Amino acid sequence: MLGHGPYCVTMPRSRRTRTDACPGAWRRHDAADGALARFRPVGGATSAAELRVLAGAAALGGSPLELTSRGSWQVRGLAATTADDLADALRADRPDALLDARGRDVPCGLLASPRSTRLDAVAGQVAAALRGRVDVPGRLLVALEDRSGGDVSGVASQTQNPVQHADRVRKATPTPGDVSGQGADVTVVVDDGATAALLLDGPHGVVDTGLRHPDAAGLALAAVDAFAARRDAAWRVRELDDATRAAVVDDVVARSTAVVGTPHLTPGPADPTALGPHADGSLEVLPRLGELDVPAAAALLDVLEQQGAALRATPWRTLVLRDLTDPADALRRLAAHVETDPASRWRGLSACVGAPRCAKSLADVRGDLADAVASGHAGGLVRQHWVGCARACGTPGGRVAVVEALDSGTPLGYNVHATGGRQQRGHYRTVVRSGRVTG
């Protein structure tokens, strides 16, 4: 087997006969409550003007603005003409715009470490190269991670003295990271120096390929190009068999002149949520279940505009406000609308949209989950994703307990006792999954 990483389990290649139907700005999904449009931020970047347009469209559709497990914005309840008008209104001549001046969105998910300013330009370069491409499936996920304080090179110097060697060993175990734990197909990790490392998804999760290159954007794009050239009908890198995945790695070397180092990087945590203010002047907040209603959006816009802050959406469904002039004031303004306490019971909880907004859902999972949190049956240390059917839409990356609604006649399910006057409850079962991002 060719290869520069621990790929050792053979998997059959995808034999799909249908094309990827992942929603975007112009390609919508017809849900029970109307058309659904999805907007993929460049590394999570969302301007105040874009947030205002998105929140206004969501309010017209009768639903909150939603964050997805791939760090995207989702607007529901749209009519066809309204959806087109929304996409047109979001055109902007910026590298990190949701849609560029020509109306092109990024065809796949593009994540970046939300607190890092170093990766803003890199994300913009990757987005610019991907816009307009039709050979990149919407399910593909690319992540850019900043591990400042570490050394990701994996290449040892022959002239190091013992002190230099010890320092290199210390730096080779950098901060645990953030977006690398989200199960992305292509992950590029950068360090303090001029080295970028390539990690790819596979049958055992995201692994370090050992490939290193000084150009982070070029390395990410070489990996996307190599996958696109060899994917056949596959949507994700993990769907490739061993030989094809190894050929992708070799192709990256040929396309980018990457060097082969020693694989030693491991993915970060699946849930790196760190609510509240931080020493770098940032603030992380959690809209419950990733839903941003009108009052919350208005409060957030006030903070962004008054303090000139930058906003980043994350795939763990939080929002990071960077460059705040007064984080304490921002915290006070937002505390009534979003979760800011690191001990919040809502941390680590997510759900699909459920009934009645999804015709396939067997239960009002969001209502049931809210009641479960209120009664103490959900929330705390265990990550849970509640879903209305076996499709488990929106399942986040990493290990997660998927609480799946069942038909009321299914004997395997359990019923959470009604509280707060809600009499009709769903029946559920729990399945622990080593999370694969699905929405």
State the DSSP string of 253-299: HHHH-PEE---------S-----EE-TTS-EEEB-GGGEE-HHHHHH
Instruction: Choose the weakest-confidence range: 223-232, 241-250, 404-413, 419-428.
Output: 419-428
Residue 432, pLDDT score: 76
Pairing of strands 384-387, 414-415: unpaired
Dist. CA 146–CA 178, nearest whole Å: 8
Torsion sign across C-alpha atoms 129, 188, 94, 87: positive
* Averaged pLDDT, 75-94: 93
- Binned at pLDDT 50, 70 and 90, residue 172 comes out as very low
Residue 282, pLDDT score: 97
Dist. CA 22–CA 38, nearest whole Å: 9
Dist. CA 223–CA 17, nearest whole Å: 24
- Binned at pLDDT 50, 70 and 90, residue 175 comes out as low
At residue 298, does pLDDT exceed 70? yes
Smallest Cα–Cα separation from 179: which of 242, 116, 222, 229? 116
Q: What residue ranges define each of the domains in the chain, with the CATH number in brackets?
A: 1-13+112-272 (3.30.413), 25-104+273-343 (3.90.480.10), 349-435 (no CATH)
For the chain, percent of residues with pLDDT exceeding 90 = 74
- Binned at pLDDT 50, 70 and 90, residue 16 comes out as low
- Binned at pLDDT 50, 70 and 90, residue 11 comes out as very low
Are the CB atoms for 86 and 57 separated by under 8 Å?
yes
Dist. CA 367–CA 251, nearest whole Å: 48
At residue 416, does pLDDT exceed 70? no
Is the bond preceding residue 396 a cis peptide, omega within 30 degrees?
Answer: no
* Averaged pLDDT, 163-189: 70
Around Cβ 218, how many Cβ atoms within 10 Å?
A: 20
Between 210 and 168, the higher pLDDT residue: 210
Residue 179, pLDDT score: 96
* Residue whose structure tokens are 């203010």: 277
At residue 243, does pLDDT exceed 60? yes
- Binned at pLDDT 50, 70 and 90, residue 143 comes out as very high
At residue 104, does pLDDT exceed 60? yes
For the chain, percent of residues with pLDDT exceeding 70 = 85
Residue 436, pLDDT score: 54
